[in-house]
Amino acid sequence: MHDPNYVKIATGLFIMLNPFVLIPVFLGLTGSMSKAQRMKVAMTTSIAVFIIMIIAVFAGNHVLTFFGITISDFRIAGGILILLMAITMARAKDEGMRYSDKEHAEAKSKDTNIGVVPLAIPLMAGPAGISVAIIDADLCNTLMSRSMLVIIIACLSALLWLAMVLGEQIGRFLGHTGQQVLTRVMGLILLALAAEFLVTGIQGAFHLTN
């Protein structure tokens, strides 16, 4: 059995945990906070994302088994969900992608830990991201490969923290146009990933050969 393609796994997870989507929302929700408070929110968000994704990696398959869902069925469902998100990203549209205006207003009006909700979930570790983690966990079914997956998630969580810490500088450097271009490119890559999930899922569900 071949080792999983870790570059492809890391790329897919990076796009799902897209820090360039996180930055403007993070800055909007923490605009009235002190630097120390923003750093605390950034740390909480990155830790929450790591925990959520790790739970998906180690418990996701057991949840599917409990409900009688095969990994092939889940690949098809996850592929459709990721496909819809990828189309939105390829069109560089933010609305309705992961996070609603109502959730944004509620997060600003309530004295809640915004690092967990809504920044970690559903913005970063949302349904599509959790789906990718579960599917990747099925590919990484040895101790070595599963350890590599955990390391990848840890590195991406740290990258999210860094993106929030440097959010203002990154936002000024990229500008609106730069963020739009990056979002479109990532959307195209995500479309290819969604297509692979769908094809693999259909082959597994109907016992088709390559």
What is the maximal distance between C-alpha atoms in the chain?
57
Instruction: Evaluate if residue 104 carries a pLDDT over 70.
Output: no
**Residues in CB range of 114: below 8 A, 6 or more apart:** 29, 30, 41, 107
Q: What is the mean pLDDT of the chain?
A: 86
What pLDDT is recorded for position 96? Answer: 44
CA 30, 34, 38, 41 dihedral sign is negative
Domain assignment present for residue 83? The answer is: yes
Mean pLDDT of 31-45: 91
pLDDT tens digit sequence for 128-149: 899 999 999 999 999 999 999 9
Structure tokens given for 47: 């830790």
Instruction: Evaluate if residue 60 carries a pLDDT over 60.
Output: yes
Candidates 17, 7, 8; CA nearest to 130 is 17
pLDDT tens digit sequence for 144-175: 999 999 999 999 999 999 999 998 898 888 88
Assign 3-class secondary structure to 143-210: HHHHHHHHHHHHHHHHHHHHHHHCHHHHHHHHHHHHHHHHHHHHHHHHHHHHHHHHHHHHHHHCCCCC
Domain assignment present for residue 110? The answer is: yes
Domain assignment present for residue 210? The answer is: no
Domain assignment present for residue 209? The answer is: no
Domain assignment present for residue 1? The answer is: no
Q: How many domains does the structure of the chain reveal? A: 1
Instruction: Evaluate if residue 94 carries a pLDDT over 60.
Output: no
Structure tokens given for 72: 């092939």
Mean pLDDT of 4-30: 88
Percent of the chain with pLDDT over 90: 49
Domain extent at residue 56: 6-204
Instruction: Evaluate if residue 208 carries a pLDDT over 50.
Output: yes
